[in-house]
Structure 1
């Protein structure tokens, strides 16, 4: 259903025929099946009048249908019965083709309703197809009207140049006054036809501007990862067709002599100007989080350039300036011809020529090496940070079109940009852009965005961002949304259905710290994103990670599971961590659920998650009931032997038992070969005779990074740490705790002995978790399509900035 190329017939053909009973009494179902997609690719539903154009189009469609059916019938084995059905349809509707249009419309409406009922909405591919048909119908009607005007004007010219009236009126030849009346009537008809056609052209222009607005909105949503068809060629053809109609009407109007000629000419000029100015847009956006002193690119496209800027012509230059939010508002609100003269920063390499590529037929200005040298900060609200300040890049050009060299000032604003000067601002700047991209209205004042949005819209945004960043087709699930809602609202008592109706604010998203934490919701979520896309993509795509769930939910899953059952969840207390919860024996013989201290990117860049799971003998079965070697087998690192004079060394993970106090032996570095209960932490192989740990070649082992320890050389991360005596260990405090703070696994290898074995084991201590509340998953959110057949077109009548 998500395939954009799927048609209405591809859905209908899979439905049982009885679903459409009594629908094919006036048009045989066999012919509907034979026509397939062709039938829905014609503008039947838009033929809703009995004027000359609709009658002409209905007759043309009937003829095209008969021709296509006969060709298809001749290709089947026994065409006789089908040809008889075709003949019956032709005989029935030849004199009244509009009746056939009504029959086909009823069939298609019933099929649309069936698909709507089955999927709760019309697939996007069908909506795009209908929108394309609507424009095609409008364009055909305009072209037909131009031909009618031309024929009527030529008829009027013949009347003015001859003493005789056309042959069909020869009974009035001798009546000069009647001929004068006829000329007056024809002139009135011509004026009325001009008025109607210009009205229809203005409506087509509004639809065109709405379509461009939709493209721009889709481009903005693509900044959050929404799939986006960025090809502008179909829209360029639409604009060119409308400009052609506009030119033809201007030519016919110039020699018409009607009373409203000057007024109609002004209206046509306004249509032409609006089409030109809206066809100048940002094809490839600059980065929305822009760091000063960093090069970036952008592409501006003039859709009507190939049609209007025919060579030879003057090379026009596009200029880029950075503007504040206040300046952007002034640009949009000012007179369309107003020129912007004040920049709020300095952009190096901010000019590019507007050129047409003969191969792609695209007129573009390519900015390849722009650099924001400096930025002037504007006044902000007391509660706003610098990463909430939005600006934009204004692209502008002056072009001269037509034989009269008419000047047009073209402007296009980029999407909102947050300028940063340091990498530590990147995370918060991304939050500002994510919120703006997701929840901005297409016709807003720059760059106003809602302070509160519904939680279900927030879920849709987080899901799309997650799939796009991780590059996976496996999105978030109901239990994930429930946990995220509990986290952002700090509420464990509300049901999933109630969460969907609750609004979430920008402050809750990325200004207020989460309870008991030193970071915001977005900072935590973005940390999970970064960890998953770098180290956990394949595990997530294979659904090996349960992910966004609470410890209480984990307990409800594992409470009655066999010993050795485990699952993986993202750390709730640390940015960018993943923890393993598993079932083990308690000291009195009963079972309990414990959490291993989280793995972060620092550990996973050394040893993969699958290898960590393989190392831990306590982990046997992935929840629900999947042996770990079956689940993680394809992700194990199978190192190929390499020629080296050294004995290879590997790191391995181990889990020690929970204890209230550390063993005294651990306090003595000389006894560090034993863990809390005397079990080995690092195992030495007698065959190991090298006195150096060998790091994989992919790691940077430049001399400047090595640090000597005795007669060994280790990376700084592997250097032994000094610990104070008392209640201390290489793992930190060993007290039993219910909701542990996640710690760095590298602390586990701090107590190293002077002799280094071939296999190093990193001891990671689990912790107990609290009892859960009753949890029920939320329902699926509804999809919200951008392409809605019912558009409010009034707001698109004005010229853009």
Structure 2
């Protein structure tokens, strides 16, 4: 957008003093055209500046007349144009000063309001300056050519007299000649060429800096055609000046001639070597044994390279930071002595295209086979070590027998060998790209940077990674500052003048966490990019906000109000915080367990929010269907094309207020002698269940609805050192199986083998886990309590010979359903225990050798129970 487009909306009284000689109506008509002229850079009073000012006056009059006629402007505007032409025709430099004053006033007002000018303005100003410098150079060359032609028309005698007079009247001051004769004109032209060269190289460094910032996500204009045109224009001026200087050797003298030619050759060397650059950078995080691409371009190749039967070859080598520093100090003029890594397919021909007027070498299939690590400094890790790819070639120029060794260094690269190094390597690259300086010593970068610059970097990276136009807000920066500086009590103003260090960014672990600030932030980037882009772009996610501030926001909100924030304690998680209000009117903010990218790939965030009926309004008061309706996935209704009824995953969340213990039904049991010493235990989890039927239970037609399900104790299987090869290494699930009467089941022995005795009701107590302190206990199912602390059993004491399940076996009548009480002749408690003991002794008698377990601490008590 032009300056006029920005300042035209400002109050006119701010510019009342600017439009004295130049009417504001004419400024409005000229608009963008006025800003695209080099008024600011016409500062002299010589013939070139006078002619440039006159050309601008003529162009302005023509522009105003065409605009006034095309838009049907009244005759008053045409009269103003005529007055303008008459006023400044004799002194066009005065017009330059007036217009420049207006533009400077507009810039000052805009800076006062916005504190900065658009980037497009600075770019346009730089282009205008170089364009004017090039015109000045061409004007100087024209003057020198005209003067040489004049001297050619003069006789030898007259020339000698003029030369003598010139030598007497001219004084050398700092290598420059005073006067406007031929030597003075040539010196001014060479000086202007050197200035234009510096400007072109500065523009090239800006292009390289923008290319580096593009690695962090900045917008980058990759087109090198305008820059190549500048190099070619300056080389053309160089050849013209070189020819004129050589032709004027007699008038210049040998000493001045040699110094001028040396200065001109320095300009050519700088232009040629600088025009060899990396057009497409290799990956800045490079994994070994992985293919990658890159390309280099020689901007002056189409103009200078000599046609050769054998094409020029560009070579790529890996260099360390130390080698890169030595090459930079040597001006990239010495060949590399040794590569620090082995790159396959590292030579490519430098191709010249006549149609596109380019000279490029494209590496499409490179592979870093191995890397030689350097000796690191202090606590520096592998992912902080920087290296680069050096591209080099030797070329011969068309003019003369000049040969140049060209070298171009890539941006810093961090080489990794495993994917888990990628995160920390990206942090090194991000810091280097963001905070390195132009023309630095490779690869020096500041250890501390202003927090304000860090915010800009994080915002740039976030928008580029997520591919969104909605960046971070001031509130987000405040939360990030609290996190990285570990200060939750400071105000936003307290962080404005603070600086953040590399250690705080990605070396120091955040307090109470297991990760660094960057590792956490990169996790948020990845989650948002993969699953939350549309939600963030629609501003449905606050995201960067602390749990404490969420409680403050939602504390007074209605029941069901919710918001979305990134998890503060997990990497790559988003959570829902919502308000629950109890019957007494008290409110509580609950945070649902964070969702990872994997969770959201199973069911999207929008569908999860739709599933939860306790969520009603997105903070502050937007109904959730209105906010997230466009993010709901359409659910399939009816049968699909194959006739199947569709299924769907639904999300539910039970809050602590909603968790109630379900009513317990009376337990149903079987006669005690059916499971001997097996008894229910209420303290074990419901996840490990089994159902055991003795053979006679199945064959005798015993009503299985009275059979209980049982828990297999997880702590028994996990805490008694069961070998991994044991079939009971993991908590088993014993399911009913058909009974093969021909091959009855055998009891399991402690060593994992089976006894030769059939599994009878009397032997059922002997079925136990290997190396278990007591027989396998089958437990009666009871309704599983929800979020209720389980009662603990009394510890088992082998010395007392009291079963830990004694209280449950104390009254065997309680294990039978009430419906059987009238039909079954039940034994007394004493008879029950006696029958139980006799059943065990009769079935076991004396334990078989392969069923004994002498190494078990409680083996004897298991074989010969005393209770």
Shorter-chain TM-score: which interval? 0.7 to 0.9
Partner of 2:560: 564
Local SS of the residue matching 1:453: strand
Maintained 8 Å contact 1:620/1:628? yes
The corresponding residue for 2:103 is: 108
Equivalent in 515, 518, 525 of residue 514 of structure 2: 518
The answer on whether the counterparts of 1:315 and 1:353 sit within 8 Å (CA) in structure 2 is yes
Are residues 731 and 431 of structure 1, via their aligned partners in 2, closer, same or farther at CA, if it must alter by over 3 Å?
farther
Structure 1 residue aligned with 2:752: none
Question: Which whole-Å deviations, capped at 9, do the CAs of 1:199-258 have from their partners, x for residues lacking one?
Answer: 121111111111111111111111011111111111111111111111111010011021
**Which of 214, 219, 223 lines up with 2:206 in the alignment?**
214
Deviation string 1:3-39 (CA, Å, 9 cap, x unpaired) is xxx2222223333433321322212222222222111
Check whether the contact 1:661–1:734 (CA below 8 A) recurs between aligned residues: no
Moved more, 509-518 or 149-158: 149-158
Q: What per-residue deviation string (whole Å, max 9, x for no partner) do you get for residues 593-637 of structure 1?
A: 111111111210100000000000010000011000000000001
Q: Distance in 1 between matches of 2:584 and 2:313?
A: 81
Q: Does 1:390 align with 2:393?
A: no
Contact 1:570 1:577 in 2 (8 A): yes
Equivalence map 1:757-768=2 (5 Å): none
2:620 to 624, 647, 662: 624
User: Partner residue of 2:650?
Assistant: 652
Local SS of the residue matching 2:591: strand
Q: Distance in 2 between matches of 1:178 and 1:474?
A: 72
Q: Distance in 2 between matches of 1:575 and 1:80?
A: 70
Unaligned runs of 5+ in 1: 1-5, 166-175, 673-708, 712-723, 736-801
For 1:164 and 1:194, how far apart are their aligned partners in 2? 21
Give CA-to-partner distance per residue, 1:622-660, whole Å, 9 cap, x none.
001100000000000114563134322111111112179
Matches within 5 A, 1:489-528: 489-528=485-524
Q: Gapped runs of 5+ residues in structure 2?
A: 171-176, 665-683, 691-732, 736-777, 790-867
1:382 Cα deviation from its structure 2 partner: 3.5
Q: Retained in 2: the 8 A contact 1:26–1:103?
A: yes
Corresponding residue pairs, total: 669
Aligned partners of 2:734 and 2:128: how far apart in 1? 79
In 1: Cα distance, 2:313 partner to 2:161 partner: 61
Asked if residue 436 in structure 1 is aligned to residue 432 in structure 2, the reply is: yes
Q: TM-score, normalised by structure 1?
A: 0.79
1:192 maps to which of 163, 184, 187: 184
C-alpha separation in 2, matches of 1:659 and 1:55: 86
- What's 1:130 paired with? 125
Equivalent of 1:28 in 5, 23, 38: 23
2:226 corresponds to: 234
2:417 is aligned with 1:421: yes
| Mapped pair 1:412 → 2:393 | no
The whole-number CA distance in structure 1 between the counterparts of 2:297 and 2:235 is 17
Structure 1, 79-88 or 446-455: larger mean CA deviation: 79-88
Following superposition of structure 1 onto structure 2, how do residues 269-288 of structure 1 map, counting pairs within 5 Å? Answer: 269-288=265-284
SS at match of 1:655: coil
CA deviation string 1:397-442 (max 9, x = no partner): 1110023231111111100001111111111111111111111112
Deviation at 1:71, TM superposition (A): 2.4
SS in 2 for 1:372: strand
Query: For the residues of structure 2 that align with 1:192 and 1:730, how far apart are their CA atoms?
Result: 102
Give the aligned partner of residue 168 of structure 1.
Answer: none
**Distance apart, 1:183 and its partner CA:** 9.1
Cα shift at 1:64:
1.6
**Pick aligned residue for 1:67 from 49, 62, 69:** 62
Aligned counterparts of 1:406 and 1:651: Cα–Cα separation in 2: 74
1:454 aligns with 2:446: no
Q: Which residue of 2 aligns with 1:119?
A: 114
- Is the alpha carbon distance of 1:656 and 1:571 closer, same or farther for their aligned partners in structure 2, counting shifts above 3 Å? same
CA contact (8 A) 2:301 2:352 kept: yes
Residue of 46, 58, 68 corresponding to 1:51: 46
Equivalent residues of 1:660, 1:734 under 8 A apart: no
Say whether residues 1:480 and 2:476 are aligned partners. Answer: yes
C-alpha distance in structure 2 between counterparts of 1:598 and 1:424, whole Å = 23
Q: Distance in 2 between matches of 1:587 and 1:380?
A: 63
**Offset of residue 667 of structure 1:** 3.9
Question: What's the TM-score, normalizing by structure 2?
Answer: 0.74
Q: CA deviation at 1:178?
A: 7.0
Q: 1:388 to 1:662 in 2, by over 3 A?
A: farther
**What SS does the corresponding residue of 1:339 show, helix, strand or coil?**
coil
1:563-607 CA-to-partner distances (Å, cap 9, x unmatched) read 000000000111110010000024744111111111111210100
**In 2, Cα distance between equivalents of 1:497 and 1:75:** 54
CA distance in 1, matches of 2:218, 2:161: 69
Aligned equivalents of 2:330, 2:158: Cα separation in 1: 56
Per the TM alignment, residue 144 of structure 1 is displaced from its structure 2 partner at its CA by: 0.5
- 1:209 & 1:157 partners in 2: Cα distance? 37
How far did residue 82 of structure 1 move? 2.5
Instruction: Call closer, same or farther: CA 1:94–1:730 in 2, change over 3 Å.
Output: farther
- The separation in 2 between residues aligned to 1:628 and 1:579, in whole angstroms, is 16
* CA 1:243–1:733: 2 relative to 1, 3 Å: farther
**Cα distance between partner residues in 1 of 2:546 and 2:110:** 38
Report the secondary structure of 1:444's partner residue: coil
Query: Is 1:249 equivalent to 2:241 in the alignment?
Result: yes
Matches within 5 A, 1:790-801: none
- Is 1:341 the counterpart of 2:333? The answer is no
Of 349-358 and 120-129, the range deviating more from structure 2: 349-358
List aligned pairs for 1:347-366, cutoff 5 A.
347-366=343-362
Distance in 1 separating the partners of 2:586 and 2:518: 39
Q: Residues 542-553 of structure 1 correspond to what in structure 2 (within 5 A)?
A: 542-553=538-549
Matches within 5 A, 1:562-641: 562-586=558-582, 588-640=584-636
Question: What is the alpha-carbon distance in structure 1 between the residues aligned to residue 283 and residue 568 of structure 2?
Answer: 31
Residue by residue, what CA displacement relative to the aligned partner does 1:253-294 show, whole Å, maximum 9, x if unpaired?
Answer: 011021211100000000011011111111110000001111
Secondary structure of the corresponding residue to residue 95 of structure 1: coil
Q: Encode CA deviations 1:746-797: one digit per residue, 9 max, x unaligned.
A: xxxxxxxxxxxxxxxxxxxxxxxxxxxxxxxxxxxxxxxxxxxxxxxxxxxx
Cα distance in 2, alignment partners of residues 46 and 306 from structure 1: 32
CA contact (8 A) 1:159 1:183 kept: no
> Equivalent of 2:165, from 169, 172, 181?
181
Aligned: 1:668 with 2:686: yes
Report the counterpart of residue 7 of structure 1 in structure 2: 2
Paired residues of 1:253 and 1:265 also in contact (CA < 8 A) = yes
Counterpart-to-counterpart distance in 1, 2:689 and 2:616: 31
The answer to whether residue 141 in structure 2 is matched with residue 157 in structure 1 is no
Whether the 8 Å contact between 2:660 and 2:786 is mirrored in structure 1 is no
Could you tell me whether the CA contact under 8 Å between 2:562 and 2:618 is conserved in 1? yes
Displacement of 1:67 in angstroms is 2.1
Distance in 2 between the 1:548 and 1:604 partners? 19
| Secondary structure in structure 1 of the residue aligned to 2:651 | strand
Deviation at 1:468, TM superposition (A): 0.6
Note closer, same or farther for the CA distance 1:463–1:731 as it changes in structure 2 (3 Å cut).
Answer: farther
Matched-pair contact (CA < 8 Å) for 1:240–1:307? yes
Instruction: Tell me the SS of whatever aligns to 1:605.
Output: helix
CA distance in 1, matches of 2:451, 2:274: 34
Q: Distance in 2 between matches of 1:195 and 1:104?
A: 32
Whole-angstrom distance in 2 between the partners of 1:112 and 1:590: 57
Q: CA deviation at 1:506?
A: 1.1
Q: SS at 1:145's partner residue?
A: helix
Q: Who is 2:641 aligned against?
A: 643
Cα distance, 1:182–1:477 mapped onto 2, change above 3 Å: closer
